[in-house]
Chain A
Amino acid sequence: MENILLALETVLTFSNIMLIVLGVLMGIIVGVLPGLTVTIGIALLFPITFSFDGISGILMLLGVYIGAVYGGSIPAILLNIPGTPASAATTLEGHPMAKRGEAGRALQISTLSSGVGGIISNIALIFIAPFLAAFALNFSAPEYFALAIFGISIISSVSGDSVIKGLIGGTIGLLIATIGIDTVTGFTRFTFNQTYLLGGIDFIPILIGLFAFGQTLITLEENYGQKIKKTVYKMKGFFPSKSDIKKTSGTMARSGIIGTIVGAIPGTGGDIAAFVSYNEAKRFAKDKEEFGNGSIVGLAAPEAGNNAVTGGAMIPMTTLGIPGDSVTAIILGALMIQGLQPGPLLFKEQPEQIYGIFLGLLIANILLIVFGLLGIRLFAKVINLPDYVMTPIVLLLCLIGSFAINNSLTDVLVMVIAGFIGYFMLKLKFSMSPIILGLILGPMIESNLRRSLIMSEGDWTIFVTRPISLCFLILTLLAISSPMIISKIKQKRNKSITN
């Protein structure tokens, strides 16, 4: 409680609140624009948040995160195009409602559910995180190594088409992370006597290059010659009706809890949470026939579910320092750059900062409801922003953003090269997330591996003789093999159905 009061003092300043508002608004715009995903948005706006010291920039970034996850639902409802993958389930009920002339009603309920889902997960985060952090305080190098290995094992679920390609990407990320001064011995590695490489390759230009520049090029190529039609819709009032709120409140609460749990499991994400929430809502519903024809309950479920992922994903990230997906990996990187190393020690040493982050997230969710409801009409207009304006601006932000981090022109070139490589890798169906996970988790893996071996004087059994470390290694094996097992089970089931 004392910590929360301390954190309130840190967070509740005029400038911080304004930064959260700005973050939420920019996030919503990113989410609304088809082609810009949550990850692209975070990568693009990262350098901007970077110019604010300490926790302020992080608060803005969290605002972007929450705003973008929500914003994706607006084109999902109006155009049947999910702005982000997390909003795919929203199209199922949202678009039929819009076609029926109830776009306004759908947008209002989606805004409210998003905010409520986010708030539920945030409360869970505030209560669960300290316990997990207290447990993790007993961890030493071998446990952290095993934990980081478990963290990197989510590559198998974020690899897209080919696990081998995901693993190749992850290994390349880990290798890039070794460039520069070795943290254990101070030995310089792979620097070719270049001062730029001495401190290691900064991951932000690579991040912007791979996620924002490379991804934008792919989207450009895919949409080449296509025209998106303009939207026309009607809307009354600002707030959802009482009967709609009454109808959906149970679903919102359930989906909020589902989303939090799904989010807390590394390797999952908003899209999975949204579909699980939707299915559960359908299972619990009295009139199942409404589903598929614009059910308001079926709309509230994925919306609350995908926004609840935000709080859930922050649980392993803040307490153990392992990211659940590429977005939390970037936020983790942002925290480290601001000198906050996520993990149990952060709870002990800088509680006002970590609780400040939690409270900032809560405030962002509340602001999301307020600004979402008031500004829906404006945000919906953003969809009609022509490509010839949006694309040049996104590319310009990639260039300026990579310059702004260290005011370095070399960073700009690194970004361009990373984007160029990223474009070809994406064409070959390599997913970008494993590379970033490798880059961010690399130092944690290597330093803890070698510290453990120094502790044990070169004895490798240290990782399997310590129970917690052994547990994480077993979990890793399960995580790697689960996609294969699941697909085998599915194949069997399909066979038994066709027979």
Chain B
Amino acid sequence: MKKGNIIASLISIGIGICFIYLSKDFPKEVSNAPGPGFYPSFLGVILIILGVFLLIQNLIDKNKEDVSLALGSKKARFIYKVIGIVTLYAIVLPFIGFIATTFSFMIVMCYLMGLRSYKLLLIIPLGVTTVVFLIFNMVFKVPLPSQTLF
């Protein structure tokens, strides 16, 4: 946890610096009042101060019980798989269309969640894909992506 907090504080400081740097060329004053760059750079300064606070808090507090984040544990690896599948869905969707992507996504996800019955592995993805397609396409009139690759 402590290591993670230190990284988080450094990222906060980094974001703060980025926003200040990016707004340095914005007009300084508009109608005698602060221009568009003032507010983001002000927030950037606050973010840096907060980041430094968090950093010091974690560096000083040596007695704090350290909760392990277990980024490499079995549980965490399972989550990375889920993130990977969801990301893959977002990338593949425009190429092979909603129906094929969703159907395969459901099969893989159900299997990953521990479903092993072949019958259900076919029925659930088929049912969910059909229902979601009908609801979004027919009722909500959302133009779900169709395949473009073939």
Contacts and interface: CB of A to CB of B under 8 A. Distances in A.
Given A416-B86, A450-B34, A395 B140 contact: no
A448 to B, nearest CB: 11
A185 interface: yes
A168 B49 CA distance: 10
A171 B54 contact: no
Contacts of A412: 90, 93
Contacts of A400: 132, 136, 142, 144
Nearest to A179: B40
A457 B32 CA distance: 5
A238 interface: no
B106 A392 contact: yes
B82 interface: yes
A407 B5 CA distance: 37
B59 interface: no
A238 B86 CA distance: 42
Contacts of A381: none
Contact of A404 (B4, B44, B140): B140
Interface residues of A, number: 61
A71 B141 CA distance: 29
B122 interface: no
B105 A392 contact: yes
A58 to B, nearest CB: 16
A178 B39 contact: yes
A175 B140 contact: no
A409 B39 contact: no
B141 A51 contact: yes
Contacts of B19: 175, 178, 190
A205 B105 CA distance: 20
9 contacts: A168-B12, A175-B44, A182-B36, A187-B26, A386-B115, A393-B128, A396-B128, A400-B136, A420-B83
A171 B43 contact: yes
B39 A388 contact: no
B29 to A, nearest CB: 8
B79 A388 contact: no
A441 to B, nearest CB: 13
Nearest to A175: B43
Given A185-B27, A404-B140, A171 B50 contact: yes
A453 B34 contact: yes
Interface string A159-175: 00010110110011011
Q: How large is the interface on B (under 10, 10 to 19, 20 to 34, 35 or more residues)?
A: 35 or more
Interface of B: 1, 4-5, 8, 12, 15, 19, 22-23, 26-27, 29-40, 43-44, 46-47, 50-51, 53-54, 57, 69, 74-76, 78-79, 82-83, 86-87, 89-90, 93-94, 102, 105-106, 109-110, 113-115, 124, 128, 132, 136, 140-145
Nearest to A404: B142
A184 B30 contact: yes
Contact of B79 (A168, A178, A423): A423
A371 B70 CA distance: 44
Nearest to A389: B124
A458 interface: yes
Contacts of B26: 187, 189
Interface string A414-426: 0110011001110
A388 B124 CA distance: 10
Contacts of A46: none
A9 interface: no
Given A187-B27, A446-B39, A427 B113 contact: no
A388 B27 CA distance: 54
B141 A185 contact: no
Given A400-B136, A428-B69, A454-B33, 9 more contacts: A162-B54, A185-B27, A190-B40, A220-B82, A399-B86, A407-B143, A449-B39, A450-B34, A454-B30
Contacts of A221: 75-76, 78-79
B106 to A, nearest CB: 5
B15 A175 contact: yes
B1 A428 contact: yes
Given A189-B36, A423-B79, A172 B15 contact: yes
Contacts of A427: 4, 69
Contact of B86 (A48, A164, A213, A450): A213
B79 to A, nearest CB: 5
Contacts of A162: 54
A190 B22 CA distance: 7
B57 A164 contact: yes
Contact of A220 (B39, B43, B79): B79
Given A51-B141, A178-B39, A457-B32, A392 B110 contact: yes
Contacts of A225: 75
B114 A388 contact: yes
B76 to A, nearest CB: 7
B22 to A, nearest CB: 6
A113 B79 CA distance: 39
A178 B32 contact: no
A464 interface: no
A175 B47 contact: yes
Contacts of B83: 217, 416, 419-420, 423
Contacts of B128: 392-393, 396
Contact of B142 (A168, A407, A416): A407
A412 B102 CA distance: 14
A14 interface: no
Contacts of A416: 83, 86-87, 90
B47 A395 contact: no
